[in-house]
Amino acid sequence: MKSRIGLDFGNHSLPAVARRCLTEVDAGVAAREDRPLYVNVAHLTHSQVNLIVLALFALLALAFLAACGWRPPTCPRQRAAEYSLTLLLVLLVSALSWTYFFVTLLLPITVALRLLAEPNGIRRLSLWTLRLSLWLLVLAVLLLWPAARPTQFVRAAGSLCWATLALFAGMALARRDLRRKNAPTTPLTSA
């Protein structure tokens, strides 16, 4: 029999959250409760969910490339944003990202707060996305408090995963803005 421990609501990786939300699996496996906990909004097959997860991974990779480009960072702010994006990708893409792994969000949170404190060259949309994502993270952390079944339901639906995705979006937008601000401008000359 296959182990389903990776599908427990404590795992907030993108593959686990997608599997819990798109297939009918018990999200309370590790909690060992008497009644199962289901949070699915669809009844897809495992192979269909795997294709969706691969498509999401491809979108995240394209977003990372669009935000960072091919050139190395030219300033510490760009480098910090790039490291934060890399860390966010590791948390989202790995097969097991238990809630305590998300303590590594301290770097992206610190970078986001620093970018909000010194918004030079960052557009309003990026700043609002960063603010929203930080508030979503606060809410997701508050929902981690072990207790009632409604809290478990929200955790099983992937509250921490979705907040991390929002932080990834905000950080990607900010990194793109920083890249455009410091892009080398060379005048067009005819040869």
Can you spell out the DSSP letters for 28-92?
TTTTT-SS-----S----HHHHHHHHHHHHHHHHHHHHHHH-SSPPSSHHHHHHHHHHHHHHHHH
| Measured CA distances, 116 to 131, 137, 179, 185, 189 (Å) | 8, 16, 16, 26, 38
Residue 168 pLDDT:
97
* Mean pLDDT across 113-133: 95
For 98, which DSSP code? B
Kindly report, residue by residue over 68-119, the tens digit of the pLDDT: 988 889 899 999 999 999 999 999 998 888 878 888 999 999 999 999 999 9
Non-local CB neighbours of 111 within 8 Å, separated by 6+ positions = 80, 81, 83, 84, 171
pLDDT band at 190 (very low <50, low <70, confident <90, very high): very low
Least confident range from 22-26, 57-61, 163-167, 179-183: namely: 179-183
Can you spell out the DSSP letters for 4-24?
-GGGSTTB-SHHHHHHHHHS-
Kindly report, residue by residue over 15-56, the tens digit of the pLDDT: 988 988 898 887 776 555 667 778 878 888 989 999 999 999
Can you tell me whether residue 134 is helix, strand or coil? helix
CA distance 81 to 145: 29
Residue 149 pLDDT:
56
Kindly report, residue by residue over 58-67, the tens digit of the pLDDT: 999 999 999 9
pLDDT band at 169 (very low <50, low <70, confident <90, very high): very high
Closest listed residue to residue 40, CA positions, set 19, 22, 66, 18: 22
